Structure 1
Amino acid sequence: MVTQDWLTDAVLYIYALSLLFFVSDAASGNRSAKKVGTGLLVFVWILQGIFILVLLHDRFTVPTLTLRDFLFIVSWLLVSASLILNRLMRAELLVLLVNVVGFAVLALNLIERPKQSMELEPWEVARRLLIVHVSLITLAFALLTIAAILALMYMFLHRKLKAKKWSHVMSRMPSLEWIDQFAYRTSLIGIPLLLLSLSTGTVALLLDKSPEQLLDEKVLLSFGAAILYVVYLIRRVASLDDGAKLAVWNMLGYALLVTGFFASSLSSFHQLL
């Protein structure tokens, strides 16, 4: 066993095998490989779902989420999104990239340290709000990760087309218009979830009479990411920028969100150690 958790091992190995089949499909258009990869991915999704059900049962009344738990949920959400994409449209490369990120997120579970947790102070009055806050930020992070992947795809494809450098990889990608539209739609869901998570966290701090925590570096980075995302939405709706510039706004927001998420050493509370 690579880890001390047989379920994590099983999911990790099957997930890796699934990726190999998706790579084969993306590289050569092997339909059989796609079917096998999809079947393995469904099995991964089921195993992760079992883990999450156990997690929810154990932690429903406790506002404490371990780093492993958080990453497992994000990975499961990415797997869910890739299965939906794989079912609804022909976007093999996008499905592959989403799963590569999902696998990387899951692999971080291998970093096992004693007492490694993201602990939220047990504000009794705000207990339910904190549970909602964690749920919303997890959903938002997964959706905005997909939006960021799409933004990267857009930037790559736009640069190649502008330079008139065609490749086989580009033939496996959807059109620029499709990427831009889907990135926008994904962000249109993820950004409100992010704003809702920040609002519930803010209310929890105020109820706990800890307004000074709003000046915490990690909180400020999260609010900064939210502002960039709002700017992205405004410029997208008002058609102030072209697709390439919008992709940059999208990536800037995600970069700041990830920076805030992993800047545990800067935060005075609910740290990821």
Structure 2
Amino acid sequence: MITQDWLTDAVLYIYALSLLFFVSDAASGNRSARKVGTGLLVFVWVLQGVFLLVLLVDRFSVPALTLRDYLFFVSWLLVSASFILNRIVRAELLVLLVNVVGFAVLALNLIERNRQKVELEPWEVARRLLLVHVGLITLAFAVLTITAILGLMYLFLHQRLKAKKWSHVMSRMPSLEWIDQYAYRAGLIGVPLLLLSLSTGTVALLLDGSPAKLLDEKVLFSFAAGALYIFYLIRRLASLDDGTKLAIWNLLGYALLVTGFFVSSLSSFHQML
């Protein structure tokens, strides 16, 4: 067993099995495998939803959050996003990649580790702002993860087309124009969420009388990521760069965001496990 809990282990294994069926569909166009994979993924999504409701009820009266809680919600959001993408666009490989990331996040979440908590500020206004901040940054992270996946797909497809190396996998991918357009649209959603989360977190720190915590490494990396994402959106809107450069700007912004998320810090504001 991975987690010493048969139910959470079952969720992880079913999720992995659903990915195998999606891989079969992406590799050979096996529609039956896609239907089975989708059915298993729906089951995983329902179980995750139940776990999430239990988690929310458990945390409702306790102003504390762990990294495991955060990652669990991100994984659920990515699975939800994959269903939406599967319904509105024909991009099987994108759906598969989103679910691969969602599975990785869930697996990381379920690995046993010490549970250090994020103690929210005692002042009620600051506490509520921090709750809003956590919710917004979680949504932003999920949306920008999809944006980064699209950026990787763009670079891969562009390189293969430039080298004139066609493969069956490429036939399962949307066009470069489609990828660029939807990466931009996802960025238009994710970046404002990121900026709102940073603004609410900043206000909470100021109300708490702790402006020095704005120099925390995670805060600085997050602000740098926000600035780079704004630069990316401006360059995309003004058509100042080609698709390859835009994809690189997109991925650099995500790299800063992820680096800030995992960087070591002694700050009580961002001390997650």
Asked if these proteins are the same fold (TM beyond 0.5), I'd say yes
> Which structure 2 residues correspond to residues 190-269 of structure 1 after superposition, within 5 A?
190-265=190-265, 267-269=267-269
- Measured in 2, the distance between the counterparts of 1:246 and 1:173 equals 19
> Which structure 2 residues correspond to residues 44-63 of structure 1 after superposition, within 5 A?
44-63=44-63
- Measured in 1, the distance between the counterparts of 2:79 and 2:110 equals 18
Asked whether the equivalents of residues 65 and 119 of structure 1 are also in contact (C-alpha less than 8 Å), the reply is yes
Establish whether residue 36 from structure 1 lines up as the match of residue 36 from structure 2.
yes
Give the equivalent residue in structure 1 for 2:125. Answer: 125
TM-score normalised by structure 1 residue count = 0.96
Root-mean-square deviation (Å): 1.4
- Measured in 1, the distance between the counterparts of 2:172 and 2:82 equals 16
Deviation string, structure 1 residues 57-99 (Cα, Å, up to 9, x no partner): 1213433211111111000000001111112221111111100
Asked whether the equivalents of residues 22 and 33 of structure 1 are also in contact (C-alpha less than 8 Å), the reply is yes
- Measured in 2, the distance between the counterparts of 1:118 and 1:104 equals 23
Establish whether residue 158 from structure 1 lines up as the match of residue 158 from structure 2.
yes
- Measured in 2, the distance between the counterparts of 1:202 and 1:5 equals 38
Give the equivalent residue in structure 1 for 2:108. Answer: 108
Structure 1 stretches of at least 4 aligned residues deviating more than 6 Å after TM superposition: none
Letter in 1 for 2:181: Q
Letter in 1 for 2:86: N
Letter in 2 for 1:165: K
- Measured in 2, the distance between the counterparts of 1:266 and 1:142 equals 25
- Unaligned 5+ segments in structure 1 are none
Asked whether the equivalents of residues 213 and 267 of structure 2 are also in contact (C-alpha less than 8 Å), the reply is no
- Measured in 2, the distance between the counterparts of 1:217 and 1:171 equals 42
Deviates more, 1:96-105 or 1:161-170: 161-170
- Measured in 2, the distance between the counterparts of 1:225 and 1:63 equals 27
Matched length:
273
Give the equivalent residue in structure 2 for 1:173. Answer: 173
Asked whether the equivalents of residues 126 and 204 of structure 1 are also in contact (C-alpha less than 8 Å), the reply is yes
Establish whether residue 19 from structure 1 lines up as the match of residue 22 from structure 2.
no
Asked whether the equivalents of residues 74 and 142 of structure 1 are also in contact (C-alpha less than 8 Å), the reply is yes
Structure 1 residue 56 displacement after superposition: 1.4
Deviation string, structure 1 residues 133-157 (Cα, Å, up to 9, x no partner): 0000000000000000000000000
- Measured in 1, the distance between the counterparts of 2:128 and 2:53 equals 18
Structure 1 residue 267 displacement after superposition: 4.0
Letter in 1 for 2:4: Q
Aligned CA distance change for structure 1 residues 147 and 254 (closer, same or farther; 3 Å): same
Q: Counterpart of 2:240 in 1: which secondary structure?
A: coil
- Measured in 1, the distance between the counterparts of 2:54 and 2:115 equals 20
- Measured in 1, the distance between the counterparts of 2:165 and 2:266 equals 43
Structure 1 residue 266 displacement after superposition: 5.6
Give the equivalent residue in structure 2 for 1:147. Answer: 147
Work out the percentage of aligned pairs sharing the same amino acid.
84
> Which structure 2 residues correspond to residues 82-101 of structure 1 after superposition, within 5 A?
82-101=82-101
Q: Counterpart of 1:264 in 2: which secondary structure?
A: coil
Deviates more, 1:26-35 or 1:115-124: 115-124
Asked whether the equivalents of residues 21 and 36 of structure 1 are also in contact (C-alpha less than 8 Å), the reply is yes
- Measured in 2, the distance between the counterparts of 1:53 and 1:235 equals 40
- Measured in 1, the distance between the counterparts of 2:255 and 2:68 equals 21
Letter in 2 for 1:104: A
Structure 1 residue 217 displacement after superposition: 1.3
> Which structure 2 residues correspond to residues 54-73 of structure 1 after superposition, within 5 A?
54-73=54-73
- Measured in 1, the distance between the counterparts of 2:198 and 2:8 equals 30
Deviation string, structure 1 residues 22-75 (Cα, Å, up to 9, x no partner): 000000000000001001111111111111111111213433211111111000
TM-score normalised by structure 2 residue count = 0.96
- Measured in 2, the distance between the counterparts of 1:163 and 1:266 equals 47
- Unaligned 5+ segments in structure 2 are none
